[in-house]
Copies of this chain bind each other. A is one copy, B any other.
Amino acid sequence: MIAKEALTIDKAAMALKLMGDKTRLTMLRILADHDCCVCEFVEIFNMSQPSISQHVRKMKDIGMIKEKRHGQWIMFSLNEDFEGYEMVKSVLHLLPVQDHHLEELIQKGKRISCD
């Protein structure tokens, strides 16, 4: 049996730095329950599309989230293969559910679902 390698301080710090932004942390808390695409985040955060895109890119670049294209949309989700996944999850579980954002989205008819 091979012990799971502990996360290095360096990698953890990199992940935590990304989580240390309110917008990204909220995105992650949402992603802990629901996959989302960029255009949904644009609605939720009422922020420019490039700004959202850049936040998402940073998290994708270090492997914290992953993407899957569904036609026109690219759905993002937490990446369970990320080295810091356990850490990310344990932090997110301490934070309040962000379902109200999704509900608002649904009420506005802006929720994207790919099944």
Tell me the A residues contacting B by CB distance below 8 Å. Answer: 6-10, 12-22, 25-26, 29, 86-87, 90-91, 94-96, 98
Besides A8-B96, A16-B25, 19 more A-B contacts (Cβ < 8 Å) are A6-B95, A6-B96, A7-B94, A9-B25, A9-B29, A12-B91, A12-B94, A13-B22, A13-B25, A14-B20, A16-B19, A16-B91, A17-B20, A18-B20, A20-B20, A87-B91, A87-B94, A90-B94, A91-B91
| Interface CB pairs A-B, < 8 A, 29 | A6-B94, A6-B95, A7-B95, A7-B96, A8-B95, A8-B96, A9-B22, A9-B25, A9-B26, A9-B95, A9-B96, A9-B98, A10-B22, A12-B91, A12-B95, A13-B19, A13-B21, A14-B20, A15-B20, A16-B16, A16-B91, A17-B17, A17-B20, A17-B21, A19-B20, A86-B94, A87-B91, A90-B91, A91-B91
Contacts of A14 in B (CB 8 A): 20
Chain A interface, >50% SS class: helix
* Identical chains bound together, number: 2
Contacts of A25 in B (CB 8 A): 9, 12-13, 16
